[in-house]
Structure 1
Amino acid sequence: MIIRYRVLGPARAVPHPGGADAPLVPGGARVRALLTALAAAGGRPVPPAVLAAQVWTGEPPRDPPAALQALVGRLRKAIGREAVELTPGGYRLVTAPDEVDLFRFDALTADGLAVLDEGPPAEAARLFGEALELWQGPPLADLPDGERHPLAVRARQRHAEARRGAVAAALALGRADAALPEAAALAAAEPLDEPLQTLWIRALAASGREAAALAAYEEVRVRLAERLGTDPGAGLRALHTELLAGPSGGGDAPPVPGNLPARLTSFVGRGDDLADVTAALSSRRLVTLVGPGGAGKTRLALEAADTAGATSTTGTTGTTGATGAAYPDGVWIAELAPVRDGGTAAADAVLAALGVREPPLAVRAPGQAADPLARLVEHCRQRRMLLIVDNCEHVVGAAAGLVARVLESCPGVTVLATSREPLGVPGELVRPVGPLHRDAALRLLGERGAAARPGFTV
């Protein structure tokens, strides 16, 4: 008979198929902690010392090996001698990860998220529903200090994703009224989570409560301004435009945000370079243009950003959308040339370029970081955008640290850097920018000369 193990809530062993057999609930907190620790290993051996440390947190027995052996005997008596075996690597629960609800929950949620992106919403709803049925309480609840266990932390994150995915699937199926209570609860728990607030506002609108949806948007807008010093992202603004247009739709799409300067002169030559950099941005999250001063790195970066931002592509990084602009939260350039030190000034410069104001102490959220780099990550974490970091060479260490932190923490951000030397960040794609070819250089000289002095010829 197969035994399935439950550690999402009270630890227990459930015979499968169940029939008349009741779940096996070991008696004693230590025995349940041992079962939880073994189940969390997913069938892999756990060294005795590791098991003892998990079961007797802060109060080890006088003879840990003997105490653990006695505890294993009690667990075997409760769920069957053959269920726990001793191997050279330690004790193991004779099971597979799929027979432990913790791992099955994770897999079902991951499948649901994948289907929600590309498949039928009914299948996504089924997967999320099956996952949420497994959630019977806090993960690893019988394990002392289990709340801080990495698997418990991940499980809670997955639980939030499953709840959110279930709401999104219900909305896609036209079941807004049924999804509304859960959407409200999720939005209240994460007041600064823009995608979640978007889901909540969309649920209100889909259930026929357009006025309430507009009021909720205004609350979110004010909250973001007061706590983060920023405006709603492109997704929320687009939804706001839909709400203002009414059920019949219509109107133009909201402009994509950004701060790229208008170019006042023509872009000469570098057609191949432009195509190469634009293509690279569709598949890589960090592209660095490297070359001597005056080579044209910044101009090439601006032209490539314009081209990439207007192109709808599906890259391998998940930073671009299948429809609409590639970077719905905008294309931004941060100029590091004025930065004179390698401390927090680089992060301050990028925040200023993005228009992020430091929230006053009086309205700063509890626990909200004042560190500029932490604020930058907080701002960018849920956005899909292209960030140009220009002239990095004189603060290359600070620039590299900033870019690495943003790329690690903000999966929707792509960075295009310009520098006289590579940043040295993992995943960086370096593209050298050399002098213009002779014909292009002569054409550029002719155009700029004629603009400065009428009648000028090369």
Structure 2
Amino acid sequence: MRYQILGATQAHDDQGTPLPVGGPRLRALLAALALRANRTTPVDTLIDDIWADAPPADAPAALQALVGRLRRALGRHTIASEPGGYRLTATPDEVDLHRFERLTREGTAALDRHDPETAARVLREALSLWHGPALADLPDRTAATRPEARRQEANRARLEAELLLGHAPGVVPELKELTTDQPYDEALRALLIRALRDAGRGADALAAYEDARRILAEGLGADPGPELRALHAELLAEPARPEGRTRPGGPTRPDGPMEPGGL
């Protein structure tokens, strides 16, 4: 069995055939169980996950009925009854969220050991698992905060790897879109400036720095951080290159592990 919770909740059998999970309550139950694959989820936690602030009068009985319906949809052995709760009998790698987290760890580790080709390939695979907002069928979005943050980290790491592979011209449009959507993310701003610089667009890189400086000042009352300031100094010190001529060999990545939440 395979379970998808990075988007609408879905289940597939071993041949990849989608299984009809049912309505929103059943999808919320499956999402809550898959989030904790092969771990017992207490009854009270499942009730909170499924009904949030409006549980039915006899919530444990209603939950038991939902579990029975989900077993009929997926197979009676897919959900085990445990003391005080229920457990989805699946390995973490059978759930897309946990597979994404494993691949993200592998990709960022490859980046840290200066293997951008492996990093880019593994991180692309990790990000391809997403088909919408994480845990989209849970009424409370709190549990989605961490996966969504990890998705952003994985995407920044993937873009870093693409730059190290010399793909600067190809990632500029994506980085422009991302910095528009996340204007205060200095790590993305730095990647955009580097991509423009390494694509031979030094004037545009300087303009991107000034844009970042202005937005940070107007929106947060803050100055650019050390990474942006260092990039700006490098741009001012570099000799001008003809427009469109990329930096030979691409950019280099500072030694040391990637900091969580940024590059």
Where does residue 155 of structure 2 map in the other structure?
Answer: 163
Q: Which residue of 2 aligns with 1:188?
A: 180
Q: Aligned to 2:3, what secondary structure does the other structure show?
A: strand
Residue pair 2:149, 2:261 contacting (<8 A) in 1 also: no
Cα drift, residue 235 of structure 1? 2.2
* 5+ residue gaps, structure 2: 242-253
Q: After the TM superposition, which residues 168-247 of structure 1 pair with which residues of structure 2 at under 5 Å, given as runs?
A: 168-244=160-236, 245-246=238-239
Q: 1:40-189 alignment to 2 at 5 Å? A: 40-145=35-140, 147-149=141-143, 152-189=144-181
Q: For residue 131 of structure 2, give the secondary structure of its aligned residue in structure 1.
A: coil
Cα deviation 1:385-411 (Å, max 9, x = unaligned): xxxxxxxxxxxxxxxxxxxxxxxx999
Deviation at 1:125, TM superposition (A): 0.3
2:31–2:137 Cα contact (<8 Å) kept: yes
Query: Quick one: structure 1 residues 322 and 31, their matched pair in 2 at CA, closer, same or farther if it must change by over 3 Å?
Result: closer
Aligned residue for 1:134, secondary structure, equals coil
CA distance in 2, matches of 1:118, 1:410: 18
Check the 8 A contact 1:11/1:25 in 2, yes or no. no
- 1:224-373 mapped onto 2 (5 Å cutoff): 224-244=216-236, 245-246=238-239, 322=255
- Name the larger-Rg structure: 1
Matched with 2:10 is 12
Rounded to whole Å, the distance in 2 between the matches of 1:37 and 1:50 is 9
Alpha-carbon distance between aligned partners in 1 of 2:76 and 2:192, rounded to the nearest angstrom: 50
- Identical columns (%): 51
Cα distance per residue 1:332-383 (max 9 Å; x no partner): xxxxxxxxxxxxxxxxxxxxxxxxxxxxxxxxxxxxxxxxxxxxxxxxxxxx
Name the SS of the counterpart of 2:13 in structure 1.
strand
Equivalent in the alignment of 1:280 = none
Contact kept in structure 1, 2:6 and 2:134, CA below 8 Å: yes
Partner SS, residue 58 of structure 1: coil
Aligned length: 248
Superposed displacement of residue 136, structure 1: 0.9
Contact 1:26 1:78 in 2 (8 A): yes
Asked if 2 retains the 8 angstrom alpha-carbon contact of 1:176 and 1:203, the reply is: yes
Q: Which has the higher helix share?
A: 2
Q: 1:247 to 1:166 in 2, by over 3 A?
A: farther
- Counterpart CA distance in 1 for 2:183 and 2:214 is 11
Give me the TM-score of the superposition, normalised by structure 2: 0.86
- The question of whether the paired residues in 1 share the 8 Å contact of 2:153 and 2:261 is answered with no
Q: Return the offset for 1:8.
A: 0.5
3-state SS of paired residue (1:81): coil
1:47–1:195 CA distance, 2 compared to 1 (3 A): closer
Query: Normalising by structure 1, what TM-score?
Result: 0.51
Aligned to 2:28: 33
